[in-house]
Amino acid sequence: MVHGRGAVATGRWRRLAVLCLALFLAWACVNFFLFPPAVQSPAHASRSIHTSPILLNKGTWETGPGEALCANEASICEHREALENLRGTIRGQVLCKGMDVYTLSARVFNALRDKEPGVVVRPLTVEDIKAALQAAANFNMTVTVKCGGHNPAGLATNDCGMLIDMYYMRGVHWDSDLHIIAEGGALWKHVHPLLAEANRSIVGGGCPDVGVVGLVVGGGVGWTSRSHGLAADNVLEATVVLPNSTVVTVDTDNQPDLFWALKGAGGSNFGVVASVKLRTFPAHDHYFAGQFCFHRRENDTADVLRVHGKVLQARDMDDRLTVDLFSSRHPPGEGDGDGYLPIRMCYGLFFDGPIDEALVIAKGVLEDLSTLVDEETACR
């Protein structure tokens, strides 16, 4: 009898559980189909993980913002009073969409990554940077910084937020110890003339239009890196405007953790680097350097890769010898005939030392490359 009543009770509980489950499923279906959850816009999804305005918006790759992307991003340009206040505060420029200079500032090296910031600020001074960051914080705007805009991923720009274009802060000068002081918008082509006049060298970018600070905060590989390390290894000091608009000068003794982080860590998002101090070195009178470009046959690529692999496997390679393998499009007038590939394979060599030593140390590489050189090879 006890067992029988237990069985009846168990059956009732089962029927009740099934009924509850059915009611829950019905409720879930009604809510899902009649009241679907709101879809978070890409801009809001990206911003939701940001606790600081100085963070790169890496979550979207669209070439234009569109209404949905900017729905949750307030723009200073849409608020007349805030716009006039910012323009009255800074000595530089505040640009909104529709202005010719806005388009130029928002543009980056890789046109596939062009975006439309909500506002562009071109500071003239550190005080301008502070004012821009304060305004961005008031509107909870994403901020990115453009030094040269040469980053292929387009990380210097953003959709709907604030772009700080360092175009007007391009000063470069020496200090008393032959260190280069470069402002945040300086390009390597602004540094090279000073080095030539003083007969000094530096670990920096080979492309003249690359930004100095942009290269440094990403680590920075140069032709003399095997001799002197990365560009970031040769930063002695940096002046930074933090997200809270505080200005700090950091080095190995002052805020060493931030100084370390600025040199290649954290996606370059710890603040706006207003200037850097860079170590330089005595330059040689002449340098051994050259570039071979192969672009006639498909097997050129395989042959060049074999030579490069042999060089990399050499454990006794002199630290002063740098080799560089890269591909590029043909210059105008080259590579137009039959049998040419759309791109060419190029091999560069550089020796940071006397030419007579270079000819001995690079002999093996040159001999291997000479077997691939023919009348179609471009040498310079």
User: CATH for 43-165?
Assistant: 3.30.43.10
Q: What is the C-alpha to C-alpha distance for residues 86 and 131, in angstroms, rounded to an integer?
A: 7
Q: How far apart are the first and last CA of the chain?
A: 103
Q: Give residue 262's pLDDT.
A: 92
User: Of 142, 147, 143, 144, which is closest to residue 109 (Cα–Cα)?
Assistant: 147
Q: Give residue 61's pLDDT.
A: 33
CATH for 288-379, among 3.30.450, 1.10.3470, 3.30.70, 3.30.310? 3.30.310
Which residues of the chain form CATH 3.30.465.10? 172-282
Which residues of the chain form CATH 3.30.43.10? 43-165
Q: Give residue 164's pLDDT.
A: 97
Q: Give residue 380's pLDDT.
A: 62
Q: Give residue 18's pLDDT.
A: 44
Which residue positions in the chain have pLDDT lower than 50? 1-13, 15-68
Q: Give residue 234's pLDDT.
A: 97
Name the pTM for this structure: 0.77
Q: Give residue 24's pLDDT.
A: 46
CATH for 172-282, among 3.30.465.10, 1.10.10.60, 3.40.50.2020, 3.40.50.1100? 3.30.465.10
Which residues of the chain form CATH 3.30.310? 288-379
161 touches 117 (CB < 8 A) = yes
Backbone dihedral region for residue 378 (phi beyond 0: left; psi -120 to 50: alpha; all else: beta): beta
